[in-house]
Structure 1
Amino acid sequence: MKIEGIVLAAGFSSRAGTFKMGLDFNGRTVIERCVGVMKRYCSKVYVVGGYRIEIIEEILKDYRDVEVVFNEDFKDGMFSSVKVGIEKLKGDKFFLTPGDYPAVKGETYESLLTADKDIVVPTFQGRKGHPILINTEVAREILNDDQYSNLKEFTVSKGFSIVEVLDRGILQDIDTINDYKELLKLYKAYENK
């Protein structure tokens, strides 16, 4: 089975007040942390960029099997980037996550791969997070059907399975600089265990 990945990194980072994909996260950038863990479980990772894409291209230029893709409609929001990513897929299933989830553990990816369902969502203490694992053929319906305005609508309408994981990182994205500082503290704490 061929597994690929989509990382959504086209947003403006407006609430953070700085371009968060390029922030240092314990020696590597936020986007590198996100892509680096996902890449271990994927034959190819597509990073969908928009705003400040040149920074992402520079950061990821030496990463094998990682392709940075431009979403010319990135101002239309995250769902437009989901569609751009899906158009690129060639595999059977794919992981999908926003690029500002740098603290997800590898074990989470492994746990999701054990579930043989079309859409699999990780949960931590009952709360849903990222990355999600989706069957590529099922996801292609997003491209051919205008009834969905976001990914949540799609996953709810199709139904999904949940996998409980021991990974608080699935819930913790970076919206503000405060989020970044708190997440970095948490990451350093569990890295040093």
Structure 2
Amino acid sequence: MRHDVVILAAGQASRMGRCKALLPLSDAPGDHALSRLARLWAGAAACRVVTGFHAGAVEAACAALGLEAVRNPQPEAGMFSSVRTGLEAVLRSPTFASLDGVFLQPVDVPLVRPLTVISLGEAAASFPGAALIPTFAGAEGHPVFLPAALLPSILAADGEGGLRAVLAHLPLRHVPVADALMLRDMDSPKDYAALCELARGADSPSPAEAGEWLRLRGTPERGLRHARAVGAVAQALAQALARARQREGAAPLPDAALCLAAGLLHDICKGEAEHEAAGARLLARYGFPRLAAIVGAHRDMTPVAPASLTERELVFLADKHCRGGEWVSVAQRFDDKLALYAGDAAACAAIEGRKARALAMEAALAAALAPLAGAGEEADPARLARQALAPHARGPEEPSHERP
């Protein structure tokens, strides 16, 4: 799909008291709202920034980022005046005839993920001619996609009630996405502080986002129980390993939030052939490369030394301790499979190999957690897994008949 982007950055930011477009989102040099959005929209045919208040500073940043600036002559007239300014610039473009549509992106919603952009693009192909608004759990967010055919009608409107009021009279569809960050703006210093905190973990879905993604993909209840169980165990193992390494002054510390997200989403493509690889491809495509690396490796893995354990190994082990939503020892998990495939010598040999590697990995984790035992803390991976699953306890579940 060929599209332009209009970033709306003309506001006065009276409640914020500072130019939102240039507010830093981390300590990294040049990491501000506008630069984040420039990276997000790097694949657009053209990306224009509507300026107004703070025009000098924003336009200088646009020049540094290679973005075209279009100044709103009357920014005090409200956001629809900026929408009009941006869309008129798109219509004047010599490439307008080749465009499928335009994304409208407020600069104060800078943490929109590729997941949302890709989902809107897919929906645009399925519903040509309709404006699209992304939603998370029913709440509307940004950006809005406008098909090229609707631009004249939008520009002919008086803008009373803003863009959403204009769109209410045009073909419109809502597109559910598993991205709560496309709801988060920064209208106040409190909003901005919260956004900076969210920016640190933006490359990993929250539990609510992971749950919504699984729901949108139609994951059955059994799959949801297993996902929650693996996420809980992976998080607990990561937290324990972090405590052990802190006691020893060792690094790196595992990312418990990443382990939780990977555990929740490790079977996102369950039911597809080679579902681990399919899940990794899906996550990478939607902008989650760290998750993809973990999910793609969760079925089988070569053991590593205790000092080399990462989130990948922790999620791998967490999965081996969960049969459906209940706890199981690593040995029993594989013994169940051996019983299922007792008549298939080749399958049993493969299962025995996977069992040996998983037990070796668990031994490596036990060694890495040894410093906790000296402090009177639980240091046994199996018991930590069982404790993590206590809130998820249910009745026994049947062994899975997945490939050996």
TM-score range, shorter chain: over 0.9
Aligned length: 191
Q: 1:63 is matched with which residue: 62, 65, 81?
A: 65
Check if 1:152 corresponds to 2:164.
yes
Q: Which residue number in structure 2 is paired with residue 35 of structure 1?
A: 38
Label 1:150 to 1:190 Cα distance change in 2 as closer, same or farther (>3 A). closer
Q: 1:138 is matched with which residue: 137, 150, 157?
A: 150
Measure the CA separation in 2 of the matches of 1:88 and 1:138. Answer: 15
Secondary structure of residue in 1 paired with 2:109: coil
| Contact 1:5/1:96 (8 A) holds in 2 | yes
Q: 148-157 or 177-186, which moves further after superposition?
A: 148-157
Task: Give the residue type in structure 1 aligned to 2:105.
Answer: T
Q: How does 1:1-193 map to 2 (within 5 A)?
A: 1-26=1-26, 27=28, 28-40=31-43, 42-64=44-66, 66-89=67-90, 90=96, 91-116=99-124, 117=127, 118-146=130-158, 148-191=160-203, 193=258
Label 1:157 to 1:53 Cα distance change in 2 as closer, same or farther (>3 A). same
Identity, % of aligned pairs?
30
When the two structures are superposed, what TM-score results if normalisation uses the length of structure 1?
Answer: 0.92
Measure the CA separation in 1 of the matches of 2:155 and 2:3. Answer: 19
| Contact 1:5/1:39 (8 A) holds in 2 | no
Secondary structure of residue in 2 paired with 1:104: coil
Task: Give the residue type in structure 2 aligned to 1:174.
Answer: M
Secondary structure of residue in 1 paired with 2:41: helix
When the two structures are superposed, what TM-score results if normalisation uses the length of structure 2?
Answer: 0.45
Shift of 1:146: 3.0
Measure the CA separation in 1 of the matches of 2:159 and 2:33. Answer: 33
CA RMSD of aligned residues (A): 1.6
Look at both structures and tell me which one has the larger radius of gyration over its CA atoms: 2
Task: Give the residue type in structure 1 aligned to 2:192.
Answer: Y
| Contact 1:86/1:140 (8 A) holds in 2 | no
Q: 119-128 or 131-140, which moves further after superposition?
A: 131-140
Measure the CA separation in 1 of the matches of 2:65 and 2:33. Answer: 15
Larger RCO, structures 1/2 (Cα 8 Å, 6+ apart): 1
Measure the CA separation in 1 of the matches of 2:189 and 2:80. Answer: 24
Shift of 1:187: 1.7
Label 1:149 to 1:190 Cα distance change in 2 as closer, same or farther (>3 A). closer
Unaligned runs of 5+ in 1: none
Measure the CA separation in 1 of the matches of 2:203 and 2:150. Answer: 36
Shift of 1:85: 0.5
| Contact 1:172/1:183 (8 A) holds in 2 | yes
| Contact 1:45/1:67 (8 A) holds in 2 | yes
Shift of 1:75: 0.7
| Contact 2:49/2:62 (8 A) holds in 1 | no
Unaligned runs of 5+ in 2: 91-95, 205-257, 259-404
Higher strand share: 1
Q: 170-179 or 183-192, which moves further after superposition?
A: 183-192
Shift of 1:181: 0.8
Label 1:83 to 1:103 Cα distance change in 2 as closer, same or farther (>3 A). same
Measure the CA separation in 1 of the matches of 2:7 and 2:153. Answer: 19
Shift of 1:63: 2.8
Label 1:147 to 1:96 Cα distance change in 2 as closer, same or farther (>3 A). closer
| Contact 1:142/1:148 (8 A) holds in 2 | no
Label 1:138 to 1:168 Cα distance change in 2 as closer, same or farther (>3 A). same
